[in-house]
């Protein structure tokens, strides 16, 4: 019997506080055309957002999005473990969760 899975993928991130972080994520063959992407880092304790990750669609038709944090943003994060999510809004405000995982900030 065929199955359908819409559970977000898992991607853990790790970086040193004060470093610039940037990586391109490739969802090909999924087209992200018409999507508005957003990503946040949240506290594991209270669940509140602690940083917004910049998302840039580098090639929406080919499913490519870049996520980045400035050196100032990573420097402002205390050493520890957080959670992050990458979501997209499609036409009609339909929300789609693409990735989730842990963020490890080391000093």
Give pairs for 13-16: CB < 8 Å, separation 24+.
13/84, 13/101, 13/102, 13/103, 13/104, 14/103, 14/104, 14/105, 14/106, 15/69, 15/74, 15/103, 15/104, 15/105, 15/106, 16/74, 16/105, 16/106, 16/107
- Say if 25 falls within a structural domain: yes
Question: For residues 106 and 2, which has the higher predicted lDDT (pLDDT)?
Answer: 106
pLDDT at 2: 79
Q: Taking a C-beta distance cutoff of 8 angstroms, is the pair 39, 53 a contact?
A: yes
pLDDT band at 6 (very low <50, low <70, confident <90, very high): confident
pLDDT band at 3 (very low <50, low <70, confident <90, very high): confident
Tokens in use for 65? 């999005």
Percent of the chain scoring above 90 in pLDDT? 78
- Say if 4 falls within a structural domain: no
- Say if 85 falls within a structural domain: yes
- CA 24 – CA 26 distance, rounded (Å): 7
- Say if 35 falls within a structural domain: yes
- Say if 74 falls within a structural domain: yes
Give per-residue pLDDT as tens, 48-72: 999 999 999 999 999 999 999 999 9
Question: Whole-prediction pTM value?
Answer: 0.89
Average pLDDT over residues 15-28: 96
Identify the CATH number of the domain in which residue 43 sits. 2.60.40.10
pLDDT at 1: 73
């Amino acid at each position: 019997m065929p199955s359908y899975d819409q559970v977000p993928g898992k991607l853990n991130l790790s970086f040193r506080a004060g470093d610039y972080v940037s990586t391109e994520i490739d969802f090909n063959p999924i087209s992200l055309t018409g999507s508005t992407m957003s990503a946040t880092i949240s506290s594991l304790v209270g669940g509140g957002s602690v940083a917004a990750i910049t998302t840039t669609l580098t090639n929406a038709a080919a499913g490519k999005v870049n996520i980045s944090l400035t050196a100032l943003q990573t420097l402002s994060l205390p050493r520890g473990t957080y959670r992050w999510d990458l979501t997209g809004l499609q036409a009609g405000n339909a929300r789609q969760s693409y990735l989730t995982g842990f963020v490890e900030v080391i000093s």
